Chains A and B, each alone.
Chain A
Amino acid sequence: MPESPEARLQHHHKLSVQCRVGSLNIDANLKLSSMWTILFGPSGSGKSSLLRAACGLIGSEGITLQRFQPDETWQTLQDANTQTPPHLRGLAWAPQHTSLFPHLTVRENVEFAAHHGQSRNTDHQSLVAESLRLFRINHLASRTPRDLSGGERQRVSLARAFATPHCKLMLLDEPFNGIDHTLRNELLPEMRTWLRDRGIPALSVTHDVEEALQLQAEVILLREGKVEAEGYVTKVLHAERDGLLQSLAKN
Protein backbone atom coordinates (compact mmCIF):
# COMPACT_ATOMS: atom_id res chain seq x y z
CA MET A 1 0.00 0.00 0.00
CA PRO A 2 1.53 3.35 -0.99
CA GLU A 3 2.00 5.79 1.85
CA SER A 4 1.27 9.47 1.68
CA PRO A 5 4.33 11.76 2.06
CA GLU A 6 2.91 13.07 5.35
CA ALA A 7 2.62 9.59 6.79
CA ARG A 8 6.15 8.74 5.68
CA LEU A 9 7.56 11.85 7.24
CA GLN A 10 6.17 10.83 10.58
CA HIS A 11 8.02 7.56 10.53
CA HIS A 12 11.70 7.49 11.27
CA HIS A 13 12.36 3.80 11.35
CA LYS A 14 10.59 0.73 10.06
CA LEU A 15 11.42 -2.59 11.65
CA SER A 16 9.87 -5.75 10.36
CA VAL A 17 10.65 -9.06 12.02
CA GLN A 18 9.41 -12.47 10.93
CA CYS A 19 11.45 -15.11 12.67
CA ARG A 20 11.52 -17.65 15.44
CA VAL A 21 13.41 -16.88 18.64
CA GLY A 22 13.49 -19.82 21.02
CA SER A 23 9.92 -21.12 21.18
CA LEU A 24 8.38 -17.78 20.16
CA ASN A 25 7.21 -17.00 16.65
CA ILE A 26 7.73 -13.30 16.09
CA ASP A 27 5.77 -11.61 13.33
CA ALA A 28 5.75 -7.86 13.85
CA ASN A 29 5.97 -4.68 11.80
CA LEU A 30 6.98 -1.65 13.84
CA LYS A 31 6.80 1.91 12.59
CA LEU A 32 8.66 4.32 14.81
CA SER A 33 8.10 8.03 14.89
CA SER A 34 10.81 10.61 15.38
CA MET A 35 9.81 10.83 19.05
CA TRP A 36 9.68 8.27 21.81
CA THR A 37 7.92 4.98 21.13
CA ILE A 38 7.10 2.45 23.82
CA LEU A 39 7.11 -1.26 23.17
CA PHE A 40 4.70 -2.59 25.78
CA GLY A 41 3.91 -6.19 26.58
CA PRO A 42 4.14 -8.97 29.16
CA SER A 43 7.41 -10.78 29.67
CA GLY A 44 8.07 -13.34 26.98
CA SER A 45 6.17 -11.39 24.33
CA GLY A 46 9.33 -10.84 22.28
CA LYS A 47 10.09 -7.21 23.18
CA SER A 48 13.81 -7.69 23.81
CA SER A 49 14.13 -9.89 20.74
CA LEU A 50 12.76 -7.07 18.60
CA LEU A 51 15.40 -4.71 19.99
CA ARG A 52 18.13 -7.29 19.40
CA ALA A 53 16.84 -7.73 15.85
CA ALA A 54 17.14 -3.98 15.30
CA CYS A 55 20.71 -4.16 16.62
CA GLY A 56 21.60 -6.89 14.13
CA LEU A 57 22.32 -9.39 16.89
CA ILE A 58 19.94 -12.19 15.92
CA GLY A 59 19.92 -14.13 12.65
CA SER A 60 19.73 -12.38 9.34
CA GLU A 61 16.64 -13.95 7.81
CA GLY A 62 13.21 -12.36 8.02
CA ILE A 63 14.40 -9.04 9.43
CA THR A 64 14.14 -5.67 7.73
CA LEU A 65 15.28 -2.39 9.22
CA GLN A 66 14.93 0.90 7.38
CA ARG A 67 15.69 4.47 8.38
CA PHE A 68 14.26 7.67 6.98
CA GLN A 69 17.06 9.95 5.85
CA PRO A 70 17.16 13.76 5.95
CA ASP A 71 17.15 13.69 2.13
CA GLU A 72 13.75 11.93 2.34
CA THR A 73 14.94 8.53 1.15
CA TRP A 74 14.81 5.27 3.05
CA GLN A 75 18.15 3.79 3.98
CA THR A 76 18.05 0.00 4.30
CA LEU A 77 20.16 -1.19 7.22
CA GLN A 78 19.03 -4.76 6.93
CA ASP A 79 17.02 -6.90 4.55
CA ALA A 80 17.49 -10.12 2.60
CA ASN A 81 20.52 -8.66 0.79
CA THR A 82 21.86 -6.14 3.28
CA GLN A 83 23.33 -6.75 6.68
CA THR A 84 24.87 -3.63 8.19
CA PRO A 85 27.12 -4.71 11.07
CA PRO A 86 25.89 -3.58 14.52
CA HIS A 87 28.59 -0.95 15.01
CA LEU A 88 27.68 0.91 11.81
CA ARG A 89 23.94 1.21 12.50
CA GLY A 90 24.11 4.48 14.43
CA LEU A 91 22.38 2.97 17.45
CA ALA A 92 22.61 3.53 21.15
CA TRP A 93 21.60 0.68 23.42
CA ALA A 94 20.92 0.16 27.09
CA PRO A 95 20.54 -3.63 27.19
CA GLN A 96 18.29 -5.52 29.58
CA HIS A 97 20.98 -6.79 31.94
CA THR A 98 23.00 -3.53 31.87
CA SER A 99 26.10 -5.42 30.62
CA LEU A 100 28.56 -2.93 32.05
CA PHE A 101 32.19 -3.63 31.20
CA PRO A 102 33.53 -5.05 34.49
CA HIS A 103 37.15 -4.02 33.95
CA LEU A 104 36.31 -0.36 33.33
CA THR A 105 35.24 2.32 35.81
CA VAL A 106 31.87 4.03 35.55
CA ARG A 107 33.46 6.95 33.69
CA GLU A 108 35.35 4.63 31.35
CA ASN A 109 32.14 2.71 30.64
CA VAL A 110 30.40 5.91 29.61
CA GLU A 111 33.47 7.06 27.67
CA PHE A 112 33.53 3.76 25.80
CA ALA A 113 30.30 4.66 24.04
CA ALA A 114 31.57 8.19 23.37
CA HIS A 115 34.88 7.33 21.74
CA HIS A 116 35.92 3.70 22.44
CA GLY A 117 39.13 4.87 24.06
CA GLN A 118 40.29 6.30 20.76
CA SER A 119 40.96 9.89 19.84
CA ARG A 120 38.78 12.04 22.08
CA ASN A 121 37.62 15.54 21.39
CA THR A 122 35.83 18.18 23.44
CA ASP A 123 32.44 17.20 21.98
CA HIS A 124 32.88 13.69 23.32
CA GLN A 125 34.06 14.94 26.68
CA SER A 126 31.11 17.27 27.15
CA LEU A 127 28.73 14.49 26.04
CA VAL A 128 30.21 12.21 28.72
CA ALA A 129 30.01 14.95 31.36
CA GLU A 130 26.40 15.83 30.50
CA SER A 131 25.36 12.20 30.50
CA LEU A 132 26.98 11.54 33.89
CA ARG A 133 25.16 14.61 35.24
CA LEU A 134 21.79 13.68 33.71
CA PHE A 135 21.77 10.31 35.45
CA ARG A 136 23.26 11.69 38.69
CA ILE A 137 26.24 9.40 38.72
CA ASN A 138 29.08 11.92 38.85
CA HIS A 139 29.95 10.77 42.35
CA LEU A 140 30.27 7.17 41.12
CA ALA A 141 32.59 8.00 38.21
CA SER A 142 35.70 6.30 39.56
CA ARG A 143 33.97 3.17 40.90
CA THR A 144 33.85 -0.16 39.12
CA PRO A 145 30.53 -1.86 38.27
CA ARG A 146 31.15 -4.49 40.95
CA ASP A 147 30.78 -1.82 43.66
CA LEU A 148 27.42 -0.50 42.44
CA SER A 149 23.86 -1.32 43.44
CA GLY A 150 21.41 -2.61 40.84
CA GLY A 151 19.80 0.79 40.35
CA GLU A 152 23.17 2.50 40.06
CA ARG A 153 24.27 0.00 37.42
CA GLN A 154 21.10 0.68 35.49
CA ARG A 155 21.82 4.43 35.53
CA VAL A 156 25.38 3.85 34.31
CA SER A 157 24.03 1.72 31.48
CA LEU A 158 21.61 4.53 30.53
CA ALA A 159 24.37 7.14 30.78
CA ARG A 160 26.54 5.01 28.51
CA ALA A 161 23.76 4.77 25.91
CA PHE A 162 23.06 8.51 26.08
CA ALA A 163 26.76 9.30 25.57
CA THR A 164 26.80 7.59 22.15
CA PRO A 165 27.61 10.30 19.60
CA HIS A 166 25.76 10.66 16.27
CA CYS A 167 23.04 8.34 17.53
CA LYS A 168 20.12 7.85 15.14
CA LEU A 169 17.97 5.61 17.34
CA MET A 170 18.04 5.09 21.10
CA LEU A 171 17.09 1.58 22.21
CA LEU A 172 16.23 1.22 25.90
CA ASP A 173 15.40 -2.21 27.29
CA GLU A 174 13.46 -1.79 30.56
CA PRO A 175 15.38 1.43 31.28
CA PHE A 176 14.06 1.88 34.83
CA ASN A 177 14.71 -1.63 36.06
CA GLY A 178 15.81 -1.29 39.69
CA ILE A 179 15.40 2.51 39.73
CA ASP A 180 12.88 3.72 42.34
CA HIS A 181 9.76 5.60 41.27
CA THR A 182 10.82 8.96 42.69
CA LEU A 183 14.04 8.99 40.70
CA ARG A 184 12.29 7.63 37.63
CA ASN A 185 9.76 10.45 37.76
CA GLU A 186 12.66 12.90 37.87
CA LEU A 187 14.69 11.26 35.11
CA LEU A 188 11.93 10.59 32.57
CA PRO A 189 11.14 14.20 31.58
CA GLU A 190 14.83 15.09 31.49
CA MET A 191 15.63 12.13 29.26
CA ARG A 192 12.78 13.07 26.95
CA THR A 193 14.02 16.65 26.74
CA TRP A 194 17.57 15.47 26.05
CA LEU A 195 16.40 13.25 23.16
CA ARG A 196 14.02 15.85 21.76
CA ASP A 197 16.68 18.59 21.81
CA ARG A 198 19.04 16.37 19.85
CA GLY A 199 16.36 14.97 17.55
CA ILE A 200 17.02 11.38 18.58
CA PRO A 201 14.08 8.98 18.30
CA ALA A 202 13.79 6.39 21.07
CA LEU A 203 12.29 2.93 21.39
CA SER A 204 11.91 1.72 24.94
CA VAL A 205 10.69 -1.59 26.27
CA THR A 206 8.55 -1.85 29.38
CA HIS A 207 5.83 -3.88 31.04
CA ASP A 208 5.12 -1.13 33.60
CA VAL A 209 1.81 0.65 32.92
CA GLU A 210 2.69 3.63 35.12
CA GLU A 211 5.94 4.19 33.24
CA ALA A 212 4.16 4.01 29.90
CA LEU A 213 1.44 6.41 31.02
CA GLN A 214 3.95 8.88 32.35
CA LEU A 215 5.83 9.03 29.05
CA GLN A 216 2.75 10.20 27.14
CA ALA A 217 4.04 8.59 23.97
CA GLU A 218 3.09 6.28 21.14
CA VAL A 219 2.71 2.69 22.31
CA ILE A 220 3.04 -0.56 20.44
CA LEU A 221 1.33 -3.34 22.35
CA LEU A 222 3.03 -6.67 21.77
CA ARG A 223 1.61 -10.04 22.72
CA GLU A 224 3.14 -13.42 21.86
CA GLY A 225 5.33 -11.94 19.17
CA LYS A 226 2.55 -10.02 17.39
CA VAL A 227 1.48 -6.40 17.42
CA GLU A 228 -1.91 -6.32 19.14
CA ALA A 229 -2.52 -2.59 19.11
CA GLU A 230 -0.68 0.64 18.42
CA GLY A 231 -1.38 4.30 18.98
CA TYR A 232 -1.30 6.93 21.66
CA VAL A 233 -0.68 5.55 25.15
CA THR A 234 -4.07 6.37 26.72
CA LYS A 235 -5.88 4.84 23.76
CA VAL A 236 -3.88 1.61 23.63
CA LEU A 237 -3.50 1.06 27.35
CA HIS A 238 -6.95 2.24 28.55
CA ALA A 239 -7.80 -1.15 30.06
CA GLU A 240 -4.42 -1.28 31.78
CA ARG A 241 -4.87 2.29 33.00
CA ASP A 242 -8.27 1.54 34.48
CA GLY A 243 -6.79 -1.45 36.25
CA LEU A 244 -3.99 0.70 37.64
CA LEU A 245 -6.39 3.41 38.82
CA GLN A 246 -8.57 0.84 40.55
CA SER A 247 -5.64 -0.68 42.37
CA LEU A 248 -4.45 2.82 43.37
CA ALA A 249 -7.96 3.68 44.62
CA LYS A 250 -8.01 0.50 46.72
CA ASN A 251 -4.77 1.45 48.37
Chain B
Amino acid sequence: MDSTSILLTLRLASVTTILLLLIATPLALWIATGRGPARRIVQAAVALPLILPPTVLGFYLLVGLGPLTAFGRFLIRLIGHPLAFTFTGLVIGSILFSLPFAVQPLVAGFTNVDRDLIDTARVLGASPWTVFRRIVAPLSRAAFLASAVLTFTHTVGEFGVVLMLGGDIPGVTRTLSIAIYDQVQEGQYAAANHASLWLVALSFLALLLLYARNSGRADAGIA
Protein backbone atom coordinates (compact mmCIF):
# COMPACT_ATOMS: atom_id res chain seq x y z
CA MET B 1 0.00 0.00 0.00
CA ASP B 2 1.41 3.31 -1.12
CA SER B 3 0.23 5.64 1.64
CA THR B 4 2.86 8.28 0.81
CA SER B 5 1.38 8.77 -2.64
CA ILE B 6 -2.18 8.86 -1.32
CA LEU B 7 -1.32 11.50 1.28
CA LEU B 8 0.65 13.52 -1.25
CA THR B 9 -2.27 13.42 -3.68
CA LEU B 10 -4.75 14.54 -1.01
CA ARG B 11 -2.39 17.32 0.08
CA LEU B 12 -1.91 18.54 -3.47
CA ALA B 13 -5.66 18.47 -4.17
CA SER B 14 -6.51 20.31 -0.93
CA VAL B 15 -3.94 23.06 -1.39
CA THR B 16 -4.91 23.48 -5.04
CA THR B 17 -8.63 23.66 -4.21
CA ILE B 18 -8.21 26.32 -1.52
CA LEU B 19 -5.87 28.50 -3.57
CA LEU B 20 -7.90 28.05 -6.73
CA LEU B 21 -11.17 29.09 -5.07
CA LEU B 22 -9.47 32.29 -3.94
CA ILE B 23 -8.25 32.95 -7.48
CA ALA B 24 -11.35 31.75 -9.32
CA THR B 25 -13.92 33.75 -7.32
CA PRO B 26 -12.84 37.25 -8.40
CA LEU B 27 -12.07 35.95 -11.89
CA ALA B 28 -15.52 34.39 -12.26
CA LEU B 29 -17.15 37.51 -10.84
CA TRP B 30 -15.38 39.60 -13.43
CA ILE B 31 -16.33 37.25 -16.26
CA ALA B 32 -19.96 37.16 -15.04
CA THR B 33 -20.36 40.93 -14.66
CA GLY B 34 -17.66 42.53 -16.81
CA ARG B 35 -18.05 44.10 -20.21
CA GLY B 36 -15.97 44.49 -23.32
CA PRO B 37 -13.82 42.21 -25.47
CA ALA B 38 -11.18 41.62 -22.76
CA ARG B 39 -13.73 39.55 -20.89
CA ARG B 40 -14.20 37.14 -23.83
CA ILE B 41 -10.46 36.76 -24.27
CA VAL B 42 -9.99 35.90 -20.60
CA GLN B 43 -12.93 33.52 -20.73
CA ALA B 44 -11.38 31.67 -23.67
CA ALA B 45 -7.96 31.59 -22.00
CA VAL B 46 -9.46 30.19 -18.80
CA ALA B 47 -11.17 27.41 -20.77
CA LEU B 48 -7.99 26.53 -22.68
CA PRO B 49 -6.78 23.80 -20.26
CA LEU B 50 -10.04 21.94 -21.02
CA ILE B 51 -8.89 21.07 -24.54
CA LEU B 52 -5.11 21.44 -24.32
CA PRO B 53 -3.19 18.17 -23.84
CA PRO B 54 -1.87 18.26 -20.24
CA THR B 55 1.60 17.48 -21.58
CA VAL B 56 1.58 20.75 -23.52
CA LEU B 57 0.72 22.72 -20.40
CA GLY B 58 3.30 20.77 -18.38
CA PHE B 59 5.95 21.33 -21.01
CA TYR B 60 5.47 25.09 -21.10
CA LEU B 61 5.46 25.27 -17.31
CA LEU B 62 8.62 23.19 -17.14
CA VAL B 63 10.35 25.53 -19.58
CA GLY B 64 8.73 28.72 -18.30
CA LEU B 65 9.61 28.11 -14.66
CA GLY B 66 13.04 26.71 -15.46
CA PRO B 67 16.44 28.34 -16.16
CA LEU B 68 15.79 28.61 -19.92
CA THR B 69 13.64 31.75 -19.63
CA ALA B 70 14.25 35.13 -18.03
CA PHE B 71 11.17 34.71 -15.86
CA GLY B 72 12.32 31.27 -14.76
CA ARG B 73 15.82 32.54 -13.91
CA PHE B 74 14.24 35.40 -11.94
CA LEU B 75 12.11 32.91 -10.01
CA ILE B 76 15.10 30.67 -9.32
CA ARG B 77 17.08 33.61 -7.99
CA LEU B 78 14.07 34.72 -5.93
CA ILE B 79 13.47 31.42 -4.14
CA GLY B 80 16.90 29.87 -4.48
CA HIS B 81 15.98 26.73 -6.43
CA PRO B 82 13.98 25.72 -9.54
CA LEU B 83 10.26 25.14 -9.08
CA ALA B 84 10.19 22.15 -11.38
CA PHE B 85 10.25 18.81 -9.56
CA THR B 86 8.98 20.41 -6.32
CA PHE B 87 5.61 20.35 -4.57
CA THR B 88 5.17 24.11 -5.12
CA GLY B 89 5.73 23.59 -8.83
CA LEU B 90 3.04 20.91 -8.83
CA VAL B 91 0.60 23.25 -7.09
CA ILE B 92 1.19 25.95 -9.73
CA GLY B 93 0.66 23.41 -12.52
CA SER B 94 -2.49 22.04 -10.88
CA ILE B 95 -3.96 25.50 -10.42
CA LEU B 96 -3.56 26.29 -14.10
CA PHE B 97 -4.72 22.85 -15.20
CA SER B 98 -7.88 22.91 -13.04
CA LEU B 99 -8.68 26.60 -13.60
CA PRO B 100 -11.70 26.01 -15.88
CA PHE B 101 -13.17 23.46 -13.48
CA ALA B 102 -13.14 26.04 -10.72
CA VAL B 103 -14.17 29.06 -12.78
CA GLN B 104 -16.99 27.71 -14.98
CA PRO B 105 -19.41 26.61 -12.20
CA LEU B 106 -18.84 29.92 -10.41
CA VAL B 107 -19.54 31.95 -13.55
CA ALA B 108 -22.75 29.96 -14.07
CA GLY B 109 -23.72 30.41 -10.41
CA PHE B 110 -23.05 34.16 -10.33
CA THR B 111 -24.89 34.69 -13.62
CA ASN B 112 -27.92 32.83 -12.28
CA VAL B 113 -28.43 35.23 -9.37
CA ASP B 114 -31.51 37.35 -10.12
CA ARG B 115 -30.40 40.76 -11.39
CA ASP B 116 -33.33 42.43 -9.58
CA LEU B 117 -32.06 41.19 -6.21
CA ILE B 118 -28.66 42.73 -6.85
CA ASP B 119 -30.20 46.03 -7.99
CA THR B 120 -32.50 46.12 -4.96
CA ALA B 121 -29.64 45.48 -2.55
CA ARG B 122 -27.59 48.26 -4.14
CA VAL B 123 -30.37 50.84 -3.99
CA LEU B 124 -31.02 49.90 -0.36
CA GLY B 125 -27.49 51.08 0.40
CA ALA B 126 -25.31 47.97 0.12
CA SER B 127 -21.80 48.47 -1.25
CA PRO B 128 -20.65 46.12 -4.05
CA TRP B 129 -18.67 44.09 -1.52
CA THR B 130 -21.70 43.75 0.78
CA VAL B 131 -23.88 42.76 -2.18
CA PHE B 132 -21.40 40.01 -3.00
CA ARG B 133 -20.95 38.82 0.56
CA ARG B 134 -24.60 38.92 1.63
CA ILE B 135 -26.53 38.24 -1.59
CA VAL B 136 -24.47 36.81 -4.45
CA ALA B 137 -22.20 34.46 -2.50
CA PRO B 138 -24.92 32.82 -0.34
CA LEU B 139 -27.17 32.38 -3.38
CA SER B 140 -24.23 30.74 -5.21
CA ARG B 141 -23.47 28.22 -2.47
CA ALA B 142 -24.17 25.27 -4.76
CA ALA B 143 -21.80 26.72 -7.36
CA PHE B 144 -19.01 27.07 -4.79
CA LEU B 145 -19.47 23.45 -3.77
CA ALA B 146 -19.44 22.29 -7.39
CA SER B 147 -16.34 24.36 -8.04
CA ALA B 148 -14.50 22.91 -5.01
CA VAL B 149 -15.45 19.29 -5.68
CA LEU B 150 -14.61 19.43 -9.38
CA THR B 151 -11.26 21.08 -8.69
CA PHE B 152 -10.41 18.57 -6.01
CA THR B 153 -11.32 15.50 -8.03
CA HIS B 154 -9.74 16.84 -11.18
CA THR B 155 -6.48 17.45 -9.31
CA VAL B 156 -6.60 13.98 -7.81
CA GLY B 157 -6.85 12.53 -11.31
CA GLU B 158 -4.17 14.72 -12.85
CA PHE B 159 -1.38 12.93 -14.72
CA GLY B 160 0.21 14.69 -17.66
CA VAL B 161 1.09 17.96 -15.98
CA VAL B 162 2.43 16.17 -12.91
CA LEU B 163 4.59 13.90 -14.99
CA MET B 164 6.08 16.72 -17.06
CA LEU B 165 6.56 19.19 -14.24
CA GLY B 166 6.99 17.05 -11.18
CA GLY B 167 8.88 14.08 -12.45
CA ASP B 168 8.45 11.10 -10.19
CA ILE B 169 9.95 11.77 -6.79
CA PRO B 170 8.46 9.62 -4.00
CA GLY B 171 6.93 11.77 -1.24
CA VAL B 172 7.50 14.98 -3.19
CA THR B 173 5.89 14.69 -6.59
CA ARG B 174 4.86 11.07 -7.05
CA THR B 175 1.07 11.34 -6.83
CA LEU B 176 -1.29 8.40 -6.92
CA SER B 177 -1.85 8.54 -10.68
CA ILE B 178 1.92 8.54 -11.29
CA ALA B 179 2.38 5.66 -8.85
CA ILE B 180 -0.20 3.63 -10.76
CA TYR B 181 1.61 4.30 -14.02
CA ASP B 182 4.92 3.17 -12.47
CA GLN B 183 3.36 0.03 -11.05
CA VAL B 184 1.88 -0.94 -14.40
CA GLN B 185 5.23 -0.30 -16.09
CA GLU B 186 6.84 -2.68 -13.60
CA GLY B 187 4.11 -5.28 -14.06
CA GLN B 188 2.76 -4.93 -10.51
CA TYR B 189 -0.86 -5.21 -11.51
CA ALA B 190 -2.14 -6.00 -8.01
CA ALA B 191 -0.56 -2.86 -6.54
CA ALA B 192 -1.84 -0.78 -9.46
CA ASN B 193 -5.32 -2.17 -8.93
CA HIS B 194 -5.14 -1.32 -5.23
CA ALA B 195 -4.12 2.28 -5.90
CA SER B 196 -6.69 2.62 -8.68
CA LEU B 197 -9.46 1.51 -6.38
CA TRP B 198 -8.49 4.33 -4.04
CA LEU B 199 -8.84 6.83 -6.87
CA VAL B 200 -12.22 5.46 -7.91
CA ALA B 201 -13.52 5.53 -4.33
CA LEU B 202 -12.20 9.03 -3.65
CA SER B 203 -13.69 10.47 -6.83
CA PHE B 204 -17.01 8.71 -6.36
CA LEU B 205 -17.37 9.95 -2.78
CA ALA B 206 -16.62 13.51 -3.81
CA LEU B 207 -19.22 13.43 -6.58
CA LEU B 208 -21.73 11.77 -4.26
CA LEU B 209 -21.23 14.61 -1.80
CA LEU B 210 -21.82 17.12 -4.59
CA TYR B 211 -25.05 15.55 -5.81
CA ALA B 212 -26.40 14.81 -2.32
CA ARG B 213 -25.92 18.43 -1.29
CA ASN B 214 -27.43 19.72 -4.51
CA SER B 215 -30.45 17.46 -4.66
CA GLY B 216 -33.60 19.49 -5.04
CA ARG B 217 -31.63 22.56 -5.98
CA ALA B 218 -31.20 24.22 -9.31
CA ASP B 219 -28.39 22.94 -11.46
CA ALA B 220 -25.16 24.59 -10.37
CA GLY B 221 -23.66 24.83 -13.80
CA ILE B 222 -22.47 21.31 -14.41
CA ALA B 223 -24.48 19.09 -16.66
Contact = CB atoms under 8 A, between A and B. Distances in A.
A52 B122 CA distance: 12
Contacts, number: 64
A97 B116 contact: yes
Nearest to A55: B123
A56 B119 CA distance: 9
Interface stretch (A112-120, A147-155, A236-244): A112-120
A56 B125 CA distance: 12
A230 B31 CA distance: 45
Interface in B114-158: 114, 116-117, 119-128, 130, 134-135, 138-139
B122 A99 contact: no
Range of interface residues on chain B? 10 to 19
* B contacts with A: majority SS: helix
Given A116-B125, A164-B124, A86 B139 contact: no
B130 A91 contact: no
A95 B120 contact: yes
A95 B119 contact: yes
Range of interface residues on chain A? 20 to 34
Nearest to A157: B120
A85 interface: yes
Contact of B120 (A85, A99, A116): A99
B134 A87 contact: no
Report, nearest first, the 10 A-B pairs whose CB atoms are least far apart: A86-B122, A99-B120, A93-B123, A99-B116, A113-B124, A55-B123, A86-B123, A116-B130, A116-B126, A87-B125
14 contacts: A55-B119, A55-B122, A95-B116, A97-B116, A99-B119, A99-B120, A101-B117, A101-B121, A102-B117, A112-B134, A116-B126, A116-B127, A161-B124, A171-B123
